[in-house]
Each structure stands twice: as C-alpha cells, then as structure tokens.
Amino acid sequence: MPDVKPRRLSDAEIAENFSDMHPPLSRAEALIEADRCYFCYDAPCTEACPTDIDIPGFIQKIRSDNINGAAHTILRENIMGGMCARVCPTEILCEEACVRMTHEEKPVRIGLLQRHATDPVFEEDVQLFTRGRETGKNVAVVGSGPAGLSCAHRLSMLGHNVVILNRDDKPGGLNEYGIAAYKTVNDFAQREAEWILSIGGIELRSGVALGDDFSLEQLREEYDAVFLAFGLGGTNRLNVANEDIDGVLNAVDYISQLRQADDKGDLPVGRNVVVIGGGMTAIDIAVQTKRLGSERVDIVYRRGPEQMGASQYEQEFAQTSGVHIQHWSQPKRLLVEDRVSGVEFERTTIDADGTLRSTGETWSLNADIVFKAVGQTANTHILGKLAKELRQQNGKLVVDDNRMTTLPDIWAGGDCIYGHDDLTVTAVQDGKIAAKAIDRYLAAGD
C-alpha cells in the first residue's frame, strides 16, 4: 500500500531542515575572507562571471568596510546579485577560476562575500540607483523572472517607462516559485523583487498571460518595444504508459507548492520516492523530499554523472543529504496498482558515436511517489500569429548577441531563448544586454 502522508517530521525538524543552506558571514569572517583575495590584475574570477562583476573591486571595498560601495559594484552589473549570491553555481564559475583554487587551498568564498555586501541593501532598503530622465518611451516586458526584472530595472535607469506583464501572482519567476526553499529563506525573493521595482517607472501587472489576456500583436501596437522573458511553461513527459496515474507528479509543480506553503509540514510526502532526471530540479526536489521526511529517495538518470545537468557540487550535496543517485538507466514502465507503486528501469549505454541505447537489462524501484524532472519546454504557441515570423530552434526563440529576435522591435531573454543555460545569473545578463540594445533602438527612432 502507498505510504504518502504529511507530518513525517516534527515542526522543529522541518524548520531546521529548511533553514539557510549557507548562513551569512559575520563582519569578522568577511574581513578575514576578503583578505585572502590576491586582487589579480587580470581577475580570472571576473572573466568567469556571466555578468562581468568586478569581483576584486567589490572585495577590496569590503576590506575597507565600504559595504554600500561593494554592493553598488555588484548590483550595477547584476541587479539580482543578492539572489545570485545564494543560488549561483560559484563552484563552476568565479570560485573555480580563483587562483587560490589549488590542491592545498580552497578558493576565496566569493558567493558568501557577495551576500555579505548585498544583504544590508535589502534589509535596510538602501536605494543605490536612480531612475533616468524621462524619455517618454514605453516598453512591455513579458515575464517577471530574473531576465524580465533585470531588463525592466535597466530600462528605468535609462529613463524609459516599463510595464511588466506577469502571469503569476507574485514577481520573481523561478526565483520565487522554482528554487529549493532552503536556498532562499525569509521570503528573500520577494524582498529583492520589491527593491528592484522600487526604482520607479515600472508598473507590475500580475495575473495576466500572453496568449490569453493579450497578444503579441497588441503589445507591438501599444508599446515602442517588447522584451519577452516568459520562461518555460511546459513540462517534458516520460513517454511511458500510465504516466498520468495518481502518484506521478511534476517536480516543478511540487517545488512551487512547497515554496508557497505557509506550513511545509502540510505537504504529503512518500516514504519511498523516485526522481527521474539529472538537472538542478531533480536535485532540488530530491533533497527537499528527504528533508520533509522521506526514508529513501533515489534520483535515476539515463546517462553518467558527467552528463548530468546538475553540477558535481550539487550531486555531492544531494548524496551527503541522504539521496541515492543511480546512473545509466531510463524508465521503461511505471508499476501500478491503484496508483503508482514503483518504476521499472532499463539499463543504458552509449555507443561509439555517442548514441544512447538500452541494453535490455531491467531493474525496479518501489515508489510511493514518482517525480518527473526531465526538463521543461517553452510554450511558444502563446506567440500567436507572429510565431511564424520569430525564428525558433528546439521550441525556443533564436536571438542575436543583443538578444534581438527576428522582429526588429522584439527582444527576448532567459529560459525561453535557444542556447540558454538555465542559470539566474545568465538570465540577468540577458535582460541587461537587451535593455541597452532597446535603449539604442529607441534613441535611433527619435
């Protein structure tokens, strides 16, 4: 019989399990850590940062106790530097590039130093940026995730009026609805979004969706430019029989419920949980399920650890959190009684040409709940009649280096564009680059 129920752990245990993953540095700790920086002239850490933050520059300001100056250095390049300090995979970006990263030493803890600099800005509501002189131009931004908020903020700094059209009830996109709860505690995603919007010149309209409440054609008629940042609305399927049976859930939906729950203990969780996938969503749902009280949680991925979308650090984090990771297997069929009772997998291998194929060998796992975490797809059908005029590849929008689409007044960024790596920091850079390009386009039209 399935064993799915809430309250597997006490309130105190759940509170502890969902406390801050990386507690902030104290002032003394931050000064000691900042003193470890060599302030390299060529700064390989900055080269590795998708948003080009002057990392030695902000660390030097921390050393001199100029915290607001450090925050300004960070946020002028990455307006979501607070969130990125929490969720950015620094272990494969700036910190991996740190020259202190040797067999004998650990890199400078850049992510925690970035958080040390930016947290006071949001806690004390310090406004570091001002709205530019009014241009009279109006820009529509579809989506309020990292790309949308970044673009809107930079456009406001440049003096343009912005309307953000947001399908969700709250701004923030995946920062609000899709990131593990232990990574962003104390409603940080909302505090950061509210701070970004407080610059002025930005109107947020929530609960309205492209394709349902307005069309892209309407936006082009009403606004001088459009930035599309609607993310990924669809979820890939396993393509096995009985996929819609009770107990088979989308990981993204469950993470969203967990993030929005007033009491995390109210969410039912299985004793035995199987997660199918290999990206960050798979890691996040697996670890959170374990922290809600599941006894056994298995992630099963069709390829090897090197091919997983989740970083090596995140894979190790899941394993040290009690999650089992199984490789080289793909689901063959769901085991079903009245509801899901397990999954039968088939072993896989890679041919010399890189083609994944099954070996015929099978094995099974019992499961009270099966989470699908096999990726998401962009709902480009919401583009309506103009979809044919916007170049797409693999169901995503194709843009140039300035994030402009194949229509001259439409730009796009974030997860909905082709070639994106699904990182918050990259989405922020998309929004910043697009805003600058939109500003040049609007100025040329005067």
Architecture in CATH for domain 4-9+235-372: 3-Layer(bba) Sandwich (3.50)
SS3 362: strand
Find tokens 């902000």 and name the residue: 58
Average of per-residue pLDDT values in the chain: 95
- pLDDT tens by residue, 307-332: 999 999 999 999 999 999 999 999 99
Residue 27: name the closest of 122, 112, 126 by CA.
112
The answer to whether residues 195 and 135 touch, using CB atoms and an 8 Å cutoff, is no
pLDDT greater than 90 at residue 235: no
The model's confidence at residue 234, banded by pLDDT at 50, 70 and 90, is confident
- pLDDT tens by residue, 63-115: 999 999 999 999 999 999 999 999 999 999 999 999 999 888 999 999 999 99
What is the separation, in whole angstroms, between the first and last Cα of the chain?
Answer: 69
- Bridge-partner residues for 349, per DSSP? 357
Query: CATH number of the domain at 138-233+378-444, out of 3.50.50.60, 3.40.190.10, 3.40.50.2300, 3.30.200.20?
Result: 3.50.50.60
The model's confidence at residue 445, banded by pLDDT at 50, 70 and 90, is confident
Are domains 4-9+235-372 and 138-233+378-444 of this chain identical in fold? yes
Mean pLDDT of all residues in 145-150: 98
Q: Other C-beta atoms within 10 Å of 429: how many? A: 22
pTM of the model: 0.95
pLDDT greater than 90 at residue 422: no
Close Cβ partners of 78 (under 8 Å, ≥ 6 residues apart): 49, 51, 53, 84, 425, 428, 429, 432
Q: Could you give the residue ranges of the DSSP H alpha helices within 64-182? A: 67-75, 81-87, 94-97, 110-123, 146-157, 174-177
Q: Which CATH class is domain 36-123?
A: mainly alpha
More confident call, 128 vs 421: 128
Sketch the domain layout of the chain as residue ranges: 4-9+235-372, 36-123, 138-233+378-444
**Calpha distance 11→265 (Å, rounded):** 7
pLDDT at 57: 97
- pLDDT tens by residue, 334-353: 999 899 999 999 999 999 89
The answer to whether residues 435 and 154 touch, using CB atoms and an 8 Å cutoff, is yes
SS3 444: helix
pLDDT greater than 90 at residue 381: no
pLDDT at 1: 65
Q: Which letter does DSSP use for residue 26 in this model?
A: P
Q: Other C-beta atoms within 10 Å of 28: how many? A: 8
The model's confidence at residue 379, banded by pLDDT at 50, 70 and 90, is confident
